[in-house]
């Protein structure tokens, strides 16, 4: 069970909160939270430039976050080689290459999902990353295709390059998140993997809303792992749903939903405030506090009569202001 890399989301503050409240409900590794954690992506070109110092902030982590994988993006094989050496020196447990990001500013650099249209370059990037990484695992996160599903040709291209793992968001770049994830393609990928590179780990990603659902999808489609992203935002208990905080008394029998829990809002607001304070402690004067807003909106999503609370939170500019708002409701 993996925490997905998400730009401007999976920073160190968010990851630490997820680890703290993730619990040990399913984990076989004796640690809290997900089995594997990915950072938000970092530019290879940036790490190979004079701006390296500023970007290293995004690669800071704590020992409690292990195993932790650094995600990188770019389009210059030589810079992937140099970046891999940097990440290895920083002590990460693995390197993940972003070949699926659909954002225009990433694609304008011929990076992210744009690499799906350039399989030769994609293979060269994997080769150079592996060369720089030495014995450190190298993985790829991608999609099913660019304008259409091209599972056989595209995934085969990646398999031929022998990364240690491939994480697949079961949509094309064109589809973004406008349609449901094509989980049915997973069985096709598993057959290709077993034929060409049986040692490669296949991780599925897309539309996973609960830990229970994640396990069912893994069993149904035969993938080796599940990667969860959006469902964890505002819900650091995701990976510990069978063992929720004691204050969350369920009205019904669904342990994965905070929407029907007495005291649920108060508990989430307290953790949200803890998250805000940690973000400010780590990133003050380095990252905009406004990035916390996407987290705060998720912490309160689904509760009744929170319109006024939402408006007040969206006006906050620092942790102290968040605390003032939370104090009124707790």
**What ranges do the domains of the chain cover?**
2-243, 249-329
Could you list the active site residues?
101
CB 139 within 8 A of CB 166: yes
Contacts of 80 (CB under 8 A, 6+ apart): 44, 72, 74, 97, 125, 128, 129, 132
SS3 of residue 128 by DSSP = helix
SS3 of residue 314 by DSSP = coil
pLDDT for residue 51: 86
In the block, which residue shows the tokens 């009744």? 304
pLDDT for residue 330: 81
CB 228 within 8 A of CB 208: yes
Shortest CA distance to 100 belongs to which of 265, 255, 227, 283? Answer: 227
The secondary structure element, H or E, covering residue 311 is: helix 307-313
Q: Which two tokens stand for residue 89?
A: 């020196």
pLDDT at 247 over 50: no
The answer to which of 94-103, 148-157, 253-262 has the lowest mean pLDDT is: 253-262
pLDDT at 66 over 70: yes
What's the rounded mean pLDDT across residues 114-123?
Answer: 98
pLDDT for residue 329: 85
Tell whether the torsion through CA atoms of 249, 251, 257 and 263 is positive or negative: negative
**CATH of range 2-243; options 3.40.50.300, 1.10.357.10, 3.20.20.70, 3.40.50.1820:** 3.20.20.70
Residue 26's pLDDT band, with cuts at 50, 70 and 90, is very low
The secondary structure element, H or E, covering residue 119 is: helix 119-133
Residue 139's pLDDT band, with cuts at 50, 70 and 90, is very high
Q: What's the predicted TM-score (pTM) here?
A: 0.90
Tell whether the torsion through CA atoms of 32, 319, 323 and 41 is positive or negative: negative
In whole angstroms, give the CA distance from residue 330 to residue 68: 34
SS3 of residue 39 by DSSP = coil
In the block, which residue shows the tokens 């140099």? 82
The answer to which of 14-23, 24-33, 190-199, 286-295 has the lowest mean pLDDT is: 24-33
pLDDT at 147 over 80: yes
Angle at alpha carbon of residue 209, lines to 207 and 213, rounded to 5°: 95
């Amino acid at each position: 069970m993996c925490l997905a890399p998400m730009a401007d989301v999976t920073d160190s503050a968010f990851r630490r909160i997820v680890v703290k409240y993730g619990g040990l409900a399913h984990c076989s590794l004796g640690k809290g939270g997900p089995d594997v954690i990915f950072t938000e992506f970092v530019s290879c070109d940036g790490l190979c430039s004079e701006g390296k110092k500023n970007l290293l902030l995004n690669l800071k982590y704590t020992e409690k976050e292990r195993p932790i994988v650094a995600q990188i993006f770019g389009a210059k094989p030589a810079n992937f080689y140099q970046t891999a050496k940097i990440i290895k020196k920083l002590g990460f447990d693995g390197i993940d290459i972003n070949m699926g990001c659909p954002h225009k500013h990433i694609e304008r650099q011929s990076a992210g999902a744009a690499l799906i249209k350039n399989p030769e370059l994609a293979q060269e990037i994997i080769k150079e990353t592996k060369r720089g990484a030495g014995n450190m695992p190298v993985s790829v996160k991608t999609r099913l295709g660019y304008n259409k599903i091209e599972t056989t040709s595209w995934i085969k291209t990646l398999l031929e390059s022998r990364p240690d793992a491939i994480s697949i968001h079961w949509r094309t770049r064109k589809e973004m998140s406008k349609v449901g994830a094509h989980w049915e393609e997973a069985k096709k990928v598993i057959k290709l993997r077993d034929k060409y590179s049986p040692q490669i780990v296949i991780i599925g990603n897309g539309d996973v809303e609960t830990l229970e659902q994640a396990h069912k999808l893994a069993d149904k489609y035969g993938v080796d792992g599940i990667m969860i992203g959006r469902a964890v935002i505002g819900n650091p208990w995701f990976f510990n749903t069978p063992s929720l905080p004691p204050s969350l008394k369920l009205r019904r029998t669904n342990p994965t939903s905070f929407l029907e829990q007495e005291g649920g809002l108060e508990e989430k607001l307290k953790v949200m405030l803890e998250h805000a304070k940690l973000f400010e402690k780590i990133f003050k004067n380095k990252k905009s506090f406004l990035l916390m807003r996407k987290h705060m909106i998720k912490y309160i999503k689904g509760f009744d009569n929170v319109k006024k609370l939402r408006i007040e939170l969206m006006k906050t500019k620092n942790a102290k202001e968040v605390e003032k708002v939370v104090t009124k409701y707790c």
